[in-house]
Amino acid sequence: MNESARVAVVGAGAVGLTTAFDLAERGARVTLFERDAPGGGSTGRAAGICYDAYAEDIDVAVADRAMARFRSLSGEGGFTFHETPYVFLAREGDDAAAAALEESVERMRVHDRAVSLVGADELADRFPIRTDDVLLAGVAENAGWADPAAYADLFVEKCESAGVEFRVGDAVSLRTDPPGVAVDDVVTARFDAVVVAAGVHSRRLLADAGHPIALKPYRAQALVADCDYRGPTVYDATDESYLRPHPGGVLAGDGVEPVEPDPDDWDPTADDWFVADALDAVRHRATVGDAGGSELELDRAWAGLCGATPDRNPLVGAVADGVYVAAGWHGHGFMWSPAIGERLAEAVLGDGRASIPDAFDPRRFDGDEEFAVVEGMTLDGE
């Protein structure tokens, strides 16, 4: 496709905004369609945790590029990337998690990740967190966090400077032969290619246009609590919870619900059980040294949707001639978006496959597969 191609991007989350900018930077004439506000979907609800602690070649390549780009963007507009190590741990008595952790750290090190395996004492020497219950921990140095809303704001500005046309306020539907986008069944314009980056709504959009994809939404939750936490990002594999420093104190999350919500009718408020559990998890981990977890006060809590696929790899690439999808991130869509935008832009403007690995090809599934949702943050390095 020639570089001055007309491309529609549907969805102004982290993925759609980055892709729209990367397409425009390469000369494409881009229109970005967003039904609500840019960054107002899952992106505005994400915890913003980023790391390169992966064990598969493609995940490592994507994470490496994403981390480098986050760092190079840091300081632009209101966006900051905060360098913060990522600690993932198994508690005493959880031998299965410790074994999985050890194995995943070994695989990460084969891929040259800066990850070490430490015991409770070494962890206590380094970080102001409770460690007396820790059996084994991994520490990933190449990690940090950023505010996903600030990233979205920055990319709105960058898209505008690069000439991307924004069409905000209408939910669009798809036309696939030829590629196009319609509002209230009226086709808005012809495009050479359409990229669907509509998060968990991508499934319905594509299915209505005759291209089912294997994507299931699931609900995840997070909260911000007021306290003085200056420790690392911590994922407790035994408790299946995480926390990271936040300007307001601490951000804690998980609360994954094992039921499939309707992406157009779901509860965006956090459940009481989640708030109680997450505050307990913070009190448990952040009560030593400078952490001051005992002074904990809930600031706000919320829920959001993530997308799952049968094999936990995302769906990135063409589903039909000139029609592309980028969805199914298992809770990693923010941290991968800087790398996915570039690869997708090159694929759309190049030969359609150039920089997207087969492992991400959305057509590896028929779209009608039965599968159970496995959430993103686990110990197997994915």
Ligand X SMILES: Cc1cc2nc3c(=O)[nH]c(=O)nc-3n(C[C@H](O)[C@H](O)[C@H](O)COP(=O)(O)OP(=O)(O)OC[C@H]3O[C@@H](n4cnc5c(N)ncnc54)[C@H](O)[C@@H]3O)c2cc1C
Binding site for ligand X (CB under 6 A): 10-16, 33-36, 40-43, 45-49, 171-172, 197-199, 201, 205, 220-222, 253, 304, 306, 327, 329, 331-335
With CA atoms as reference, report the closest residue to 87 among 33, 141, 37, 154. 141
Q: Which is nearer to ligand X, 26 or 244 (CB)?
A: 244
Q: Which is nearer to ligand X, 168 or 288 (CB)?
A: 168
Minimum distance, C-beta of residue 337 to ligand X, in the bound complex (Å): 6
Q: Are 251 and 223 in contact (CB under 8 A)?
A: yes
- Using DSSP, state whether 299 is helix, strand or coil: strand
Q: Which is nearer to ligand X, 205 or 319 (CB)?
A: 205
Minimum distance, C-beta of residue 299 to ligand X, in the bound complex (Å): 15
Helix H or strand E segment including 224: strand 216-226
Give the 3-state secondary structure of 148-167. HHHHHHHHHHHHHHCCCEEE
The torsion of the CA quartet 251, 252, 257, 262, rounded to 10 degrees, works out to 0
Q: Which two tokens stand for residue 238?
A: 């035994």
Q: Which is nearer to ligand X, 25 or 34 (CB)?
A: 34
Q: Which is nearer to ligand X, 55 or 120 (CB)?
A: 55
Minimum distance, C-beta of residue 364 to ligand X, in the bound complex (Å): 19
Minimum distance, C-beta of residue 60 to ligand X, in the bound complex (Å): 16
DSSP 356: S
Strand arrangement, sheet containing 249-257: 115-118, 134-140, 86-91, 233-236, 241-246, 249-257, 216-226, 297-308
Minimum distance, C-beta of residue 199 to ligand X, in the bound complex (Å): 3
